Structure 1
Amino acid sequence: MRVLQLIDSLEAGGAERMAVNMANVLSDSLEGSYVCATRQEGLLKASIKQNVSYLFLNKQHKIDVQAILKLKRYIKQEQITIIHAHSTSFFMATIMKWLNPHLKIVWHDHYGNSSFLAERPYRVLAFCSRYFSLILSVNPVLETWAKNHLKCKQVVYLPNFAIQEKETVKLTQLKGIPGKRMLCLANLRPQKDHHNLINAFQIVSSQYPEWSLHCVGQDFKDVYSESVYQLVNQLDLQDRVFFYGSCPDTQHIIQQADIGVLSSLSEGLPLALLEYGLGQLPIVATHVGHCSSVFPKACHEFLVLPNQSQLLAEQLLVLMKDLEHRKTIGKLIYQHVLTQFSAVAVRDKLLQMYSQL
């Protein structure tokens, strides 16, 4: 089998990271493992393993004839049999299917706003879905939605997974006092609700002013990110809340942190939580999407309702005041993530599904 992971960009987002992770994990088990970025390159390009072939299309328009022909030639040249399309790249995959009917299309649904599916636009997706051989959904809610709204007969829930690198890049040095750092791995998007997090941090920092909050993720330089910075200034937290943009050394950053937090309004199955877990961080997160699956039952108290800064602050305080409790919770989550979200288990499931196609 020769499988191409198709993704719009290689910026450091969850879907993008999963596309690269899958190509890397499958590279030793397939005859050919490939990554193709259609629109934009990014930090994750450096994470692609040497035995994974890479193509960049530099697509400029919705229907970009040059990009379409370039991908068509590449698929023929490399004798690719399966396109595994992630998120919005499904349209390009469908065009390839029209040009080469023998291709099998797997579409991977990473939709982060799974709490607001009633508002999801899907007319084009529904049309294209008749050409899919398989749909993979990152949580059971998305699986049910695909079965009810799309035209593909085979829909399967496949959890995300995170990979622990043996050697980590060490570039980013977190500010603040070691042992007193809170980390949020999330691009600056409204769905991630940084306002909720910053308001919660304001509450806890009145009791623990030595703690700092570190936000790592892409800044889109838009109205939302501007409003986040304004709130930090308003609350006079500039010396305790720090922004780093996208960083290539996530694992190294996690090693410097003491609590992982995610304050989203909506999620699919966030990779950030799995990465916190592998780094043995204790976590506080909002109870949205499939976040609860990352927490063993003994840690469910650290799941709070979205948009409730006071509740978020209360659970953060439980961890901030007790180092030994932080270590215990971190280890419990680590063991749970290792057993439930192993890359090996997902690889084996994927290989089996590809073979059946």
Structure 2
Amino acid sequence: MAFSKEIRVIQLIDSLEPGGAERMAVTIANRLAEEVAFSGLVVTRLEGGLKNTINKKVGYAFVNKMKAIDFSALFRLRTFIKTNKVNTVHAHGSSYFFAVLLKLTMPSVQIFWHDHFGNRVKSQEGYFLLRFFSVFFSCVFTVNEALKDWAQKKLWVKNVEFLSNFTSDSEVEIPVTILNGTPNKRIVFLANLHHPKNHILALKSFLASKIANEGWTLHLIGKDKLDDYSEDLKDFIKQNNLKEAVFIYGSCNDVKSILNQAKVGILVSSYEGFPVTLLEYGMAGLTVISSNVGYCSTIIQNEVTGYLIASDNEAQLQSALIKIANESHKNDGLAKNLNTFVKANYAPEKVIQKIIDAYQKNL
């Protein structure tokens, strides 16, 4: 077995636009920089705001992949791998495809695939390519137990491990965003504006709850693709005269600063894997409302660490919003319970050690 000082690893990710998988890739790379001989981060397709959160000790490269099979980008990746003597590639999400292409040219490289896609279990897709390529994986990390069970049954790989997401205070950010509204009546929804985040459910429930009349405001933080999904949200806001109560900020990099300005955090997705957002809400001391999907119910216990609602249930979300607005004495208790739970169960040290142990078994 190799020692951790022999581990020379990169996190491979398609983009650095703010998102759960992207934030985890950066966070893991940053934490490993203190633990292994070399920790790098390679972005294949698109850079983004998260680039500014990468630790200076992390080796970084952008290979600018323009198509599925891009030999120029693959050559740039090979050069980075050789220069830094990398022996392990930790591929996140769909970047597994590029990682396997690399392994076909450099067989000694070990590939660890990290599956963040919460709806894979229910999807009707056959995933033929993923199954075929899984032959080249040394190990699969999954963000919840359902995905672990799926991978063990469907993929051609022996080692599959559930790997808890975690949050870290080590990333440095520059506070920029200033939220509108009254400080103790701000509700934050941290999620890119696209399916399956279900922003329209949040808007409908917020309107029906009528808590805007009491000064409560809703703040949507996440990438705005300016597409039909986004336009539907903006049309709803306009048609229902919510411009003074609902605000869209787009992609923001100063997440911790934003959450520190809020009182409540919501996440009402139709499906999830293991949302880092809930951990970030907990670390920030927010009162949380979450839909009961993916791993969410493990973090949010109804009326213990927050409010847990059924997926796509407007009435339950409306009720939870009204409770938060009218039972302020209860909010602080729920927020404190969640903060304590997150700190006790999702410390980065344990997760990082599990990752290192898995790497070592294959060196």
Q: How many angstroms apart in 2 are the aligned matches of 1:345 and 1:263?
A: 28
- 2:201 match: 196
CA apart distance, 1:149: 1.1
CA RMSD of aligned residues (A): 1.5
Note if 1:258 corresponds to 2:263: yes
- 2:27 match: 21
The Cα offsets for residues 118-153 of structure 1, whole Å up to 9 and x where unpaired, read as: 324511111110000000000111111111111111
Question: Secondary structure, in 3 states, of the residue corresponding to 1:19?
Answer: helix
* From 219, 234, 241, the counterpart of 2:239: 234
- 1:303 match: 308
User: How many percent of aligned residue pairs carry the same amino acid?
Assistant: 36
Preserved CA contact (<8 Å) 2:89 2:109: yes
- 2:348 match: 343
Question: Secondary structure, in 3 states, of the residue corresponding to 1:50?
Answer: coil
- 1:154 match: 159
- 1:216 match: 221
CA apart distance, 1:324: 2.6
- 1:70 match: 76
Q: How many angstroms apart in 2 are the aligned matches of 1:161 and 1:208?
A: 36
Note if 1:356 corresponds to 2:361: yes
* From 58, 63, 69, the counterpart of 1:52: 58
- 2:118 match: 112
* From 76, 80, 87, the counterpart of 2:86: 80
Note if 1:4 corresponds to 2:27: no
Preserved CA contact (<8 Å) 1:259 1:281: yes
Q: How many angstroms apart in 2 are the aligned matches of 1:345 and 1:167?
A: 22
CA apart distance, 1:289: 0.7
Preserved CA contact (<8 Å) 1:160 1:269: yes
The Cα offsets for residues 54-83 of structure 1, whole Å up to 9 and x where unpaired, read as: 000011111111001111121111110100
Q: With structure 1 as the length reference, what TM-score do the two structures score? A: 0.96
In structure 2, the CA distance between the partners of 1:28 and 1:301, relative to structure 1 (3 Å rule), is closer
Q: How many angstroms apart in 1 are the aligned matches of 2:219 and 2:338?
A: 21
Mean Cα deviation higher: 166-175 or 51-60: 166-175
Supply the AA of the counterpart residue of 2:140.
I
Q: How many angstroms apart in 1 are the aligned matches of 2:172 and 2:336?
A: 21
Supply the AA of the counterpart residue of 1:71.
L
Note if 1:92 corresponds to 2:98: yes
Mean Cα deviation higher: 41-50 or 205-214: 205-214
Q: How many angstroms apart in 1 are the aligned matches of 2:163 and 2:303?
A: 24
In structure 2, the CA distance between the partners of 1:111 and 1:144, relative to structure 1 (3 Å rule), is same
CA apart distance, 1:113: 2.4
Alignment: residue pair count = 356
The Cα offsets for residues 259-304 of structure 1, whole Å up to 9 and x where unpaired, read as: 0001110000111111000001010010001111112575267110
In structure 2, the CA distance between the partners of 1:11 and 1:167, relative to structure 1 (3 Å rule), is closer
The Cα offsets for residues 184-210 of structure 1, whole Å up to 9 and x where unpaired, read as: 000011200011100110022257431
Q: How many angstroms apart in 2 are the aligned matches of 1:301 and 1:171?
A: 28
Specify every segment of 5 or more residues in structure 1 that has no aligned partner in the other structure, as ranges.
none
Question: Secondary structure, in 3 states, of the residue corresponding to 2:270?
Answer: coil
Q: How many angstroms apart in 2 are the aligned matches of 1:101 and 1:147?
A: 24
Specify every segment of 5 or more residues in structure 2 that has no aligned partner in the other structure, as ranges.
1-6
CA apart distance, 1:313: 1.2
In structure 2, the CA distance between the partners of 1:248 and 1:307, relative to structure 1 (3 Å rule), is same
- 2:283 match: 278
In structure 2, the CA distance between the partners of 1:102 and 1:175, relative to structure 1 (3 Å rule), is same
* From 317, 321, 324, the counterpart of 2:322: 317
The Cα offsets for residues 298-338 of structure 1, whole Å up to 9 and x where unpaired, read as: 52671101111110111122122233311111110001111
Q: How many angstroms apart in 2 are the aligned matches of 1:67 and 1:213?
A: 42
In structure 2, the CA distance between the partners of 1:347 and 1:56, relative to structure 1 (3 Å rule), is same
Preserved CA contact (<8 Å) 2:118 2:147: no
Note if 1:333 corresponds to 2:338: yes
Preserved CA contact (<8 Å) 2:64 2:73: yes
Supply the AA of the counterpart residue of 1:324.
H
The Cα offsets for residues 230-283 of structure 1, whole Å up to 9 and x where unpaired, read as: 111222211100000010100000000000001110000111111000001010
Preserved CA contact (<8 Å) 2:291 2:308: yes
In structure 2, the CA distance between the partners of 1:342 and 1:74, relative to structure 1 (3 Å rule), is same
Preserved CA contact (<8 Å) 2:27 2:171: no
CA apart distance, 1:165: 4.2
After superposing on structure 2, the runs of 4+ consecutive aligned residues of structure 1 that deviate more than 6 Å are none
